[in-house]
Amino acid sequence: MQPENYQVMQADNGKPIKMWTHGVPVEDDAKKQLQNIAQLPFIYKHIAVMPDVHLGKGSTIGSVIPTLGAIIPAAVGVDIGCGMIAAKTTLTAADLPDNLFAWRSAIEKAVPHGLTFRGRDKGSWENPPELVDKAWAELYPRFQVLTDKHPRFKNTNNHKHLGTLGTGNHFVEVCLDESNAVWFMLHSGSRGVGNAIGSYFIELAKKDMERFYIRLPDKDLAYFPEGTEHFGDYVSAVAWAQDFARLNRELMMVNVVKAIQAICPKPFSADVEAVNCHHNYVQKENHFGKNVLVTRKGAVAAWPGQMGIIPGSMGAHSFIVRGKGEPEAFCSCSHGAGRTMSRTAAKRQFTIADQIAATEGVECRKDADVIDEIPMAYKDIDAVMRAQADLVEIVHTLKQVVCVKG
């Protein structure tokens, strides 16, 4: 008998789609996209759908796609290795200053973020610090192998983007948990070089589909069959980009901690608890007794006891969670709240006054350029958490008091 914690949607001539979406809306276009993916011949068992599911390019965000003998670059996407890192500090709410503007300013100075402004790229290092240079030296040998075969990645903004935030929904936050402990949390990925790798291999897969005369329900679902040259190249490239993303978050966290330590009168450490997890990535895993490739696009691994991070939107709660290892979900959970409207629609519908009201009590930007990140453009994070109660247990509930947006 089917359990009540998920519902099954059947695709025509495809594998089942198991959806942990009770009590949260799912757009029709996202359902159609999931059905397209389920029709691919190499899908293993079923697709698992998380409660933050929404339409994505080629592949649905909030989906877990297990495959045998093939890999879909668009299912990983272009923000390869995008994910979260969080660290609990020894500070408490009583240690915070009455006005947190200085904390936000210190973080903004410590972590390059945003777009070009008056001729200067605010999102890159002009001269990377020694810590970044050392991390790049760790990444460079494999990058050189990659660029020897695919020279176009050499000219990406790689070294200067390491340890930087990016734009859009990437952020750095100072949060308080249910016991008033202070946490630092941030969201970012593999930056410009990851985007270049993802975009390049997505287009390469489309060309391979034309060359092999393979028809697809959506051309963005182009894939590389295992054993082909491009399959191996992509697996190596995406693994490197995922390592870049992990190191990128670690470097930013180091700099955030240092920046606050420099202005906080009370000495503190930030290694009480720490979590670093991807939510756009692919890796080999064993499920139902078989080794398969699992692509999580907007989903987090939630193996038994594994710690993860599920952020809410700007102004909403976020959660540190522990995985329950639900086999039917391929040991996964959501990566956040999930959008209910596009960025353009949010900017059209809401005002600066709405943004100010929605982020009351949070030290953050409240101008027209961040309206697309307003909480009302996202699903209700509490409903999302209820829908996946059998996937994770909540360990800490966080509420941000400072938010730095890219």
Chain segment 44-77, per-residue pLDDT in tens: 999 999 999 999 987 899 999 999 999 999 999 9
* Model confidence pTM above 0.85: yes
Q: If we measure between CA atoms, which residue out of 377, 373, 376, 337 comes closest to residue 50?
A: 337
User: Does residue 268 have a pLDDT over 80?
Assistant: yes
What is the tens place of the pLDDT at every residue in 287-301? 999 999 999 999 999
Backbone Cα Rg of the chain? 21
What mean pLDDT comes out for the span 177-189?
97
Within a domain: residue 193?
A: yes
- Token pair, residue 367, equals 């101008």
CA distances from 246 to 149, 250, 389 (A): 24, 6, 27
- Token pair, residue 256, equals 């955030």
Per-residue pLDDT, 121: 60
How far apart CA 291 and CA 198 sit, in angstroms, is 24
User: Does residue 2 have a pLDDT over 80?
Assistant: no
Within a domain: residue 354?
A: no
Angle ∠(279,342,24) on CA atoms, nearest 5: 65
Question: Is residue 81 a contact partner of residue 281, using CB atoms and an 8 Å limit?
Answer: yes
Per-residue pLDDT, 116: 52
How far apart CA 44 and CA 56 sit, in angstroms, is 21
**Residue 168 pLDDT class (50, 70, 90 cuts):** confident
Per-residue pLDDT, 156: 92
State the CATH number of the domain containing residue 165.
Answer: 3.90.1860.10
User: Does residue 118 have a pLDDT over 60?
Assistant: no
Q: Which residue's entry shows tokens 């503190």?
A: 268
User: Does residue 231 have a pLDDT over 70?
Assistant: yes
Q: Which residues are catalytic?
A: 335
User: Does residue 119 have a pLDDT over 80?
Assistant: no
User: Does residue 184 have a pLDDT over 90?
Assistant: yes
User: Does residue 227 have a pLDDT over 70?
Assistant: yes
User: Does residue 117 have a pLDDT over 60?
Assistant: no
Higher-pLDDT residue of 274 and 224 is 224
How far apart CA 186 and CA 252 sit, in angstroms, is 8
**Cα-to-chain-centroid distance, residue 357:** 26
Within a domain: residue 355?
A: no
Within a domain: residue 350?
A: no
Question: Is residue 238 a contact partner of residue 197, using CB atoms and an 8 Å limit?
Answer: yes
CA distances from 45 to 12, 33, 49, 133, 285 (A): 15, 18, 13, 44, 14
- CA terminus-to-terminus distance, the chain: 46
Q: If we measure between CA atoms, which residue out of 52, 19, 37 comes closest to residue 295?
A: 37
- Other C-beta atoms within 10 Å of 327: how many? 10
- Token pair, residue 152, equals 């176009």
What mean pLDDT comes out for the span 245-264?
98
**Residue 274 pLDDT class (50, 70, 90 cuts):** confident
Per-residue pLDDT, 120: 52
Burial class for 121, CB neighbours closer than 10 Å (0-12, 13-18, 19+):
middle
Per-residue pLDDT, 1: 36
**Residue 369 pLDDT class (50, 70, 90 cuts):** confident
How far apart CA 303 and CA 322 sit, in angstroms, is 8
Within a domain: residue 38?
A: yes
Within a domain: residue 356?
A: no
User: How many domains does one find in the chain?
Assistant: 1
Per-residue pLDDT, 58: 75
Within a domain: residue 60?
A: yes
Per-residue pLDDT, 64: 98
Domain of residue 183 covers 7-340+378-405
- Mean pLDDT (the chain) is 94
Question: What proportion of the chain, given as a percentage, has pLDDT over 90?
Answer: 86
Within a domain: residue 2?
A: no
Q: At what angle do helices 191-211 and 229-263 cross, to 10 degrees?
A: 160
